[in-house]
Structure 1
């Protein structure tokens, strides 16, 4: 029997941390549904689930669309776990970021959390409680240049996590967030190509990004998924309203030589 045997989980995002969290939850016995808009990522995750005979379903869904999220949740009668991992990462300052891009980042990175909570919390109440884990970023704490829209959304996730935790503690629903450093994901690959050009040596860029972390490397999605599973589990029964850095020590020191 896995730790999540009999649990029902929903994940947004089918690549990177969302993919890893979905697979680890399913391997631990959960019945998992993933919502994702990237068909290639959806198909890749579906293939792994089939090869391992996991109870893991994938549904094409724009998680920024209220109607599509509502339709996805109509298939559930109860829910125990939500992991909000879907995100986009536009680059630019507040001056040169198109307002529609800024609003789209909010709709995907923050609005989707409200939508999954709006439809998912009543389903958790039916089950007597549950756990929600929101994937944020170290950039919600400290940031680089030219990422105004992205960091605004990640800071908002921290505040929204606290509000949700307070509002629903009485329902026995715990809400926490996770703030990873650089992790081997499509978003980090986008960063490599943004900084180094379309023909960038991605692995070399990853190595360079890793040197900024005291531990000396970037993280792997499965390492973040391990923390997600802990926060979603009964072992974290006294944990709510908190953000957890998992950044290889990136924010532990000052950039002073």
Structure 2
């Protein structure tokens, strides 16, 4: 800077850290990606899945504001631990692509630290994911709620097409994917629909495995606390025979199903 001019010469100022809204974070081992994960729950979701276990993440207003720098400071505290445990960082929600710029910066910063990154998404807002964001994503956990258009609409309030379009785009880009399929008796257990999804998935070259997730009611207390009805309170959880049947249907198409 030249004295007395107040001007900056040939110097690029750092970009301000993007701000987003987060619900919480947790350490998890299981269905949030490989190894032990730092799981960041972002606030806001455009869908209203009847079986949602986290209704407290639906609204952006219910989250707390945080900058990317603040989030990364928290992640950095656990970097050594999750790396040693073969894990990384997973962005979930809510729907992380509702805050795509915020999510994209976190993913970029995590990759710069050498961390494995996972994006847990319904794919409904897949068009918001830039190629750059996806290049910084080691793994997409793609939640396909149903393969029947009317059932998908009734179950989520949204449209199936954006998710399938996103799935084919991920295949084209070569981004590794794990399909997550919540098995709800009377909703997502139809044999023909499962076979249809299995056939579609088998036609993709980037799917590592199918996680068949039995429906549960662990989030029912959250609905009570929020004073809203839990739509599937009286729906039974799937028994072991049904879970085995659905996993076998995926395996019959040459897919790894857990």
The TM-score, its normalising length taken from structure 2, stands at 0.40
Question: In proportion to residue count, which structure has more helix?
Answer: 1
> Which one has more relative contact order, counting CA pairs under 8 Å at least 6 apart?
1
The TM-score, its normalising length taken from structure 1, stands at 0.40
